[in-house]
Amino acid sequence: MTVRRRIILTGATGLIGSALSKRLTSLGFEVVPFRSRHAGPGGFDHVTGQIDRATLEGAHAVIHLAGESIAQRWSAAAKERIMASRRDGTRLLAETLAGLRHKPTVFLSMSGINRYGLNRKEMLDESSAVSAEGFLPAVTEAWENATRPASEGGIRTVLLRTSLVLSSTGGGLRKMLPAFRLGVGGPIGGGRQQLSWIGLPDLVELILWAMENPAVSGPLNAVSPQPVTQAEFARVLGGILRRPSFLPMPAWALSLLFGQMGRETILADLAARPAVALAGGFRFATPDLPSALRQALAA
């Protein structure tokens, strides 16, 4: 009888978690959702410090995707929720995993390419200098630092530095589609900013590849090898939808609508390259934007 390897998954009901859970299950893994902000069995609560240790014992891998949504106005209270959910929740998980009798083989924790900063003109890879200037860079710094108890406890730890995830069922693309389908989409803030992205199916396969590849640890840029400018993204999306895509949104209007959140996400200028994945032999199914967008819209 084949023993199904158990995967603990936080954020299992989110955009990435749902797709990853389905893929893991199809491959024969036993996926155990591990609820955040849940003090009872099958979860953890970073506020109270309560966590279900018994469920974590003996798992093959722990994949940590949970965190307070970034896509909201950043009031002081929202910022504290965003920071605490990532810093304190991750630390609680990492410290607990390090103290288990039967530790997981690998701990994969979500992060973001904002670990490199907000505006960089060079192509970035996992060896590039990092920055904590700005709210999101500070969050990703604290988020990644919180995983240290796991790595120091001998658990292979992977930091998944993600970017815009392309899916028509959730995330940033879904929010853009109504405007583009009406023909009123276009470049934002001048359109010259570099935009890193990844198709959802490629992200799922990259997480699986990192989970099963013992040579992978530390930062892993979870991005396509072909970043584009905001203007190019708008042009390609409009072309696929057969709609005009030249109506610009000035930076001041975006800032008025979304405040600091808009300035640090949509107006960020970051071009990242998945150097670790490429060097390790990972192959992207949709490395270019047109094929990734067509796949996302078809799904």
At residue 128, the pLDDT reads 97
How far apart, in whole angstroms, are the C-alpha atoms of residue 148 and residue 54? 21
The neighbour count for residue 249, using CB atoms within 10 Å, is: 21
For 16-41, write each residue's pLDDT tens digit. Answer: 999 999 999 999 999 999 999 998 89
Q: For residue 144, what pLDDT band results from cuts at 50, 70 and 90?
A: very high
Reference 93, options 59, 126, 116, 132; nearest CA is: 59
CA angle 113, 197, 36 (to 5 degrees): 60
Task: State the pLDDT confidence band at 298, using cuts at 50, 70 and 90.
Answer: very high
pLDDT tens profile 152-183: 999 999 999 999 999 999 888 998 898 889 88
Strand partners, 229: 194
Chain segment 212-222, per-residue pLDDT in tens: 999 999 999 99
* Span of 1-5, 70-74, 245-249 with lowest mean pLDDT: 1-5
CA angle 7, 8, 9 (to 5 degrees): 110
**Statement: residue 2 has pLDDT above 60:** no
Sign of the C-alpha dihedral computed for residues 282, 285, 290 and 295 taken in this order? negative
| Confidence at residue 185, expressed as pLDDT on a 0 to 100 scale | 85
Tokens of 220: 């892993």
What integer best gives the mean pLDDT of the chain?
A: 94
* The model's pTM: 0.95
Q: What domains, with CATH codes, occur in the chain?
A: 6-230+258-298 (3.40.50.720)
* pLDDT given for residue 158 in this prediction: 98
Q: Residues of 183-204 as b/e, b for ≥16 C-beta within 10 angstroms?
A: eebbbbbebebbbbbbbbbbbb
Query: What would the mean pLDDT of 269-293 be, rounded to a whole number?
Result: 97
With pLDDT > 70 as the criterion, what percentage of the chain qualifies? 99
Kindly provide the residue ranges of all beta strands, DSSP E only, lying in 113-201, ordered along the sequence: 119-124, 156-162, 164-166, 194-195, 197-199
Mean pLDDT (whole number) for 131-154: 97
Q: How far apart are CA 293 and CA 60, in angstroms?
A: 33
Residue 267's pLDDT band (cuts 50, 70, 90)? confident
**What is the per-residue pLDDT for 218?**
98
Q: Which pLDDT belongs to residue 279?
A: 98
Query: What average pLDDT does range 209-236 have in this prediction?
Result: 97
Cα 8 from Cα 100, distance rounded (Å):
14
Confidence of residue 1 (pLDDT cuts 50, 70, 90): very low
Whether residue 232 has pLDDT greater than 90: yes
- Evaluate if residue 253 carries a pLDDT over 80: no
Lowest mean pLDDT among 89-93, 251-255, 283-287: 251-255
Strand locations in 83-181, DSSP E?
Answer: 106-112, 119-124, 156-162, 164-166
